[in-house]
A and B are shown apart, each in its own frame.
Chain A
Amino acid sequence: MSNQPKFGEIEYLNPKEIEFSYSSAGALRFTVKDRYSVIKVDIGCCFPLKSPNHFIWVKDTKNNELGIIESITDLDQASQKCVKDYLRKRYYMPNINSVSNLKEEFGLWYWETMTDRGSRNFVVKDPRQNIINLGQGRLLIIDVDGNRFNVDNYDLLNPKVVIMLDRLV
């Protein structure tokens, strides 16, 4: 932090010099070895959909950016785990593995799904707006409450669902 970056320059955090850990209560702690430690930081992805493991920003509780990590994989194993766990919580976007039922009624799509975080039923309104085609079969689905779901490749879901989605995306 002592060397302030020039305007417009990215301040990369050296993965060899930084560490992430959880406090006993569960807050994400950030340490730059031999320099400083922040009791609670927030981290997030610059490209959460396209490249969630790269360009990770680190901010303090006052929303000041402490720097950017170019790639999670450059961090030590323990820090990597902390960061991945945190991002998994921060970006709550369960991956839909299968759809047992999809029903359309009065413009609402009722989904019964199994996700990587357990089973979930949800409703999507305005499917043309809220089922977003990210390309190559990948979908981002936003339900009536603003919950987000990811589908890696909708072609692999059950055929009835594929037909319905084919007509939409």
Chain B
Amino acid sequence: MEAANKKTGGVPVPQLKSLSDAFLQSIEATKGKVILSQYSDINEQGVYGDRWLIVTSKFIEVYVEKSTENYTLERSLSWDEVVEVNSQNLVGSGIIEATTENDIVPLLQYSNSYAREFNYVVRALSKMHALSETERENYIYRGISDSGKKFCEKCGRLIPEWTASCPACIDKGAILKRLLAYAWPFRKQLILLTLLMLGGTALDLLPPYLGGVILIDKVLGGKPENGRQILAMVVVGLFAIQLLGTLFSVIRGRMAAWLSASLVYELRKKTYESLQKLSLSYFDKRQTGAIMSRVVHDVNGLNNFLIEGVQYFLVQVLLLIGIGAILFSINPKLAFWVIIPAPVVVFLSFHFWKYIWKLFASFWHRNSKMTAVLNDSLSGVRVIKAFAQEDRELDRFDQRSRDLYNASVQAEQSWATLFPWLSFVLTLGSLFVYFIGGSDVLLGTATVGQLVTFMNYIGRFYGPLQFLSRITDWLTRSLTSAERVFEILDAQPDVVDAPEPIRLPHIKGDVRFENVTFGYDEHDPVLQNVSFTVKAGEMLGVVGHSGAGKSTIINLLCRFYDPNEGRITIDGVDLREIAQQDIRSQVGMVLQETFLFNGTIAENIAYAKPKATMEEIVRAAKVANAHDYITSFPNGYDTFVGERGARLSGGERQRIAIARAILHDPRILILDEATSAVDTETEQKIQEAIDRLVQNRTTVAIAHRLSTLRNADKLIIIEDGKIVEAGSPDELLAKKGHYYNLVMAQEIKSKAEEEKQHEQPA
């Protein structure tokens, strides 16, 4: 399916597959209207090959593609034979199966590259199965709107997910322009900075000239009458240059430090502001570490580029031109011999740095791997000691340490070997000058001062050349950083307020789900056609196995995501129409995994109401059954909870979350497995706190332990994203369906646990 592409410099890009019109027409002539066709890349023997699933109004068929004009029928099922069509996700691939009256028919296998497409196909097939042949003829298959991957329209490359546009085809000029726009508010300081840098560079160029041509030729060689006077002037000149250079350097350094910090501050603030506005779906698709790296490292990269990089580049170019001009003006013949090795210097520098960079990248990678092992073993030191696995951990560490040792030796030895050779080649240029310049001095066509000046300038001339050989690499790296930061700045939240949102400052609390279908990936629904109503002040219990879709209901109710189909209303108003601020300020949550921010217990309780009085905080903690244990800490409410609440137990954290919710005083309360993972006594305390909390509020509670839902007005039982049962707990028990089975199973389990406890000796 993929072919190397000249436009992409040999990088393979996918080729879209399609069926020939003639073949489709031939099928339509005999098999009914073609509703959909989908390509698969695995053949019946399980090796890569071309196969097609073709669905018509009468048949579901699989064809093998021999060539673009030659297709062989492999399987054919009429719709009448099919009882059900399913897809099964395997490891690295998937399979579509059709169930018939007597058998299960594996239709075709596909690699994960086509998993999204086939999930859509299976959904369509399930819908089509319920239709008559005539209805199927009118069925329009829309296919997949977003394959989850983006390819560049220009070159066909896969576009990395950290950027919106192809990094290979991107208009570098446009990014550069946009990047420089961020420096625009600081333009005056930047111009001054550049002038100081140029001034400093110009001053830097003078000493070799003064010390060479002037001092040696004019003073020491010429022996003029006022020699001592000129000598003194030269020395004073050199002193003045040094002094001025130092002053320039100090001013420039101080200014660069200020500019750098200001620019980073502005950029980081903008990036963080943009991040906070984005919807949860943005964070679902990206790793926290990757986002952090953009806010920390990429922003720094941009700063280095704008503050140091651009000026450094200018200075290097001007140095090159300046020194070149001075050399040619002093002695064009000698200057020519200095220029000769320049291409070799550029070529060698380019490859040297490229090679060394890769070696050190490998060294850093191994270093981080060794650190990870160290971190692992230090964090898990109790487990290691408890299981007496010190030797094994030592081996593990030794392995990583040895890897690092090898990488370190390779990198350092390569550096130690190659750098002197690079320097050696660079000095070859000066040997030319020594020989030719020295000959000229002997012949009297050049002066000693000229030769010394040349020798001093040569080193400075090759420096910028080395820098310029790496300019593309440096520029690409900076622009890539810029792209990553811009991607955050440009990202648009999926969930946005309506243009004129309805304000609901006092929610009553009627909640209604109407035929809601939703999937985090649109093609893969987690909830299907879910409908229920909770009246203001009622408690709804949501019951189901893990992964059934319970937490998704909560995510939708908080409007972290919008439904794909159907709607959710609060007090009869569509959630999408209500100002998000009004929803979030009146919906409170107590989650299974309580997140506590760095700070004191008091600050964490008052998170949703920072201006809460001490009395309010203590009262909330009392209602949450948290007051007693908080006051037993030496620092009471001022106890610092530490990172992720490490010093508090699960039950203690949970009660802080309840106190937080109490203080928040939401109209709609969400409890997500709030009492799981705690012991029975703690559960009782939490349950008491929750019972107080839910009074007079609409509550949606998810619980694993069904006993905690005994006060619910209504329960819904979810299985595979669908409501399979609904009613009051008593109604559902009487019905002896799913809920009854779950309750019985839990009772048997808790009885068994009780008996086990009784059997244990005291």
A residues near B, CB below 8 A? 23-27, 39-40, 42, 48, 85, 88-94, 101, 103, 105-108, 110, 112, 115, 117-123, 125, 128, 144-148, 166-168
Contacts and interface: CB of A to CB of B under 8 A. Distances in A.
B112 A40 contact: no
A1 B83 CA distance: 29
Contact of B10 (A48, A101, A117): A101
A117 B46 contact: yes
A23 B103 contact: yes
A106 B10 contact: no
Given A88-B46, A101-B10, A125-B161, A147 B112 contact: yes
Interface string B89-102: 01111010100100
Nearest to B14: A121
A118 B45 CA distance: 11
6 contacts: A23-B104, A39-B104, A103-B11, A145-B115, A146-B115, A167-B365
Centre residue among A39, A101, A119, A123 by max chain B CB count within 10 A: A123
Interface in B1-43: 2-4, 9-12, 42
A27 B46 contact: no
A145 B106 contact: no
Centre residue among A92, A108, A147 by max chain B CB count within 10 A: A92
A90 B12 contact: no
A117 B104 CA distance: 26
Contacts of A103: 9-11
Nearest to B91: A91
Contacts of A119: 48
Nearest to A94: B48
A139 to B, nearest CB: 15
Contacts of A105: 11, 157, 167-168
B92 A91 contact: yes
B92 A148 contact: yes
Contacts of B109: 89, 92
A85 B47 CA distance: 12
Contacts of A23: 103-104
Centre residue among A23, A40, A106, A122 by max chain B CB count within 10 A: A106
Contacts of B9: 103
Contacts of A120: 48
B112 A106 contact: no
A164 to B, nearest CB: 9
B46 A89 contact: yes
A122 B10 CA distance: 13
A148 B93 CA distance: 9
Given A89-B46, A101-B10, A123-B158, A145 B112 contact: yes
Contact of A91 (B10, B90, B113, B168): B90
Centre residue among B3, B88, B149, B362 by max chain A CB count within 10 A: B362
A110 B12 contact: yes
Contacts of B2: 121-122
B103 A25 contact: yes
A56 to B, nearest CB: 14
Contacts of A148: 91-92
Centre residue among B109, B112, B157, B168 by max chain A CB count within 10 A: B112
Contacts of B361: 167
Contacts of A147: 92-93, 111-113
A92 B158 contact: no
A96 to B, nearest CB: 13
Contact of B113 (A24, A40, A145): A145
Contacts of B4: 101, 112, 121
A118 B91 CA distance: 18
B378 interface: no
A101 B10 CA distance: 9
A90 B168 CA distance: 37
A166 B112 CA distance: 28
B10 A92 contact: no
A101 B9 CA distance: 12
B431 to A, nearest CB: 35
A125 B160 contact: yes
